[in-house]
Amino acid sequence: MRTTLNLSDDLVTELMKVSGVKTKTEAIHLAISEFIRWRKLSQLAALSGKIRIDLNWQESEEAELKAQEKRERTWYGRR
């Protein structure tokens, strides 16, 4: 998408220097994607302590190992 923006030359130059990219377009894409990533992580961190998961990982692991063993027996022709 082509867009016209009025950006500070100093800000874009510093962004290019800090990010190590060679073009303004790359710098802007990187800055936008990093901002989105940062916001998503912030929103995820805000959920800390608000979600309670009752998960017994040991039971889940045992069930997965049994299922894997069954698949392997079926694969090798043993039942």
| CB-based contact 13:23 (threshold 8 Å) | no
- The overall longest dimension of the chain from CA atoms, in Å, is 70
Q: Residue 79 pLDDT more than 60?
A: no
pTM for this model (two decimals): 0.58
Read off the pLDDT of residues 9-56 as tens digits, 9 standing for 90 and up. 999 999 999 999 999 999 999 999 999 999 999 998 888 878 777 778
- pLDDT for residue 47: 85
- pLDDT for residue 78: 59
Residues in the chain: 79
